[in-house]
A = this chain, B = another copy of it.
Amino acid sequence: MNQPSRPATLKEVAEAAGVSPSTVSLVVNKKKDARISPETRRRVRDAIRDLGYRPNALAQTLVSGSSRFIGLVADAIATTPFAGQIIHGAQDEAWKHGYALLIANTEGNGDLENDAITMMLEHKVRGILYSTWFHRLSEVPDALREADFVLVNCFATEDGVRAVVPDEAQGGREATELLVRAGHRRIAFINATIPAPAKDGRLAGYRAALDDAGLAFDPGLVLEAYPDQEGGYGAVDALLSLGVTAVYCYNDRMAAGLYDGLRERGVSVPGDLSVVGFDNQEVIAAHVRPPLSTVALPHYELGAAGIRMLLGLDSPSDGASPIVKVPCPAVERESVGPHTRAAEFSPPPASP
């Protein structure tokens, strides 16, 4: 059952080519200074091809001193849809430069994390990307310091620790601008209750976009809710009491829950209220009714940029911060409509 066919050995290749095993080894390991005639090299390569011989990558690594692996430690491959895109971006970029990814999923378990990094070091990885599923401040694990490393979707406060993170403030500005450009002037923001760089950055972006549009920031238009569907659903009454024509939600899950509450109250999107999310979350943003305009978290690009930084292809310029921010692009769908005069001047419903 699925037994592997026995691979050809170096000795068999040598016999087929009529040379010594050490000559085959020299050809395989591309020793430039070895005196082997072009004709002999050709015979060896033909025999390798005919017999399907696979040179041992491990032995080649020992000869060259480092492997063609890059490690990626992720804290939540299984439980969020976000890690997948970081992996995808990192892998595409790594393959482009001749490296394979060695991926470990730690689910936040410190022992597993330490074991995974140790395993990667033992396999002489070129370096390690250390990634988290949500953008946050992180400690640098001790074991990681033995490798060349880059933090992805997280960052450290220590000097010189390289990191690639999403530009939350620019994303928040883009999200708000989708509403400003449609003519909205009274725009609510439902922020998350949980402290995080995203909470601060997305609020800063909202304020910057209002500023640019000459609109005064009104703290009364900023609500807070837990960043999932239940949080958005629970914020509906408070939101409707504000008399706004548009709302920007901290994330798409919150917007999806808000949709449910609005539908129950007969408030149509975008006819009565324009809604913008954040994340461009797979399986949700494009599939709610109406499809949600949002801002994408650039997970694929974070993974790719992390690899480029690790390999020294994208280096922060001298004196610049080693924390690189990747833009969050707007994704326009159907949840933003034009501002209507009627909505602007209708009095807010009385509070209970």
Contact = CB atoms under 8 A, between A and B. Distances in A.
Contacts of A300: 78
B57 A122 contact: yes
Total copies of this chain within the assembly: 2
Interface stretch (A216-224, A257-265, A335-343): A257-265
Given A2-B149, A289-B233, A283 B58 contact: no
Contacts of A100: 102, 104, 116, 119
Contacts of A85: 78
Given A1-B160, A257-B287, A283-B253, A62 B56 contact: yes
A336 to B, nearest CB: 19
Interface in A111-153: 112, 115-116, 118-119, 121-124, 145-150
A275 to B, nearest CB: 15
Interface in A235-264: 253, 256-257, 260, 263-264
A147 B78 CA distance: 26
Contacts of A213: none
21 contacts: A1-B162, A1-B322, A2-B148, A2-B149, A2-B160, A2-B161, A2-B162, A4-B147, A54-B121, A56-B122, A58-B123, A58-B124, A78-B87, A81-B282, A84-B105, A100-B116, A100-B119, A229-B287, A229-B288, A263-B263, A283-B284
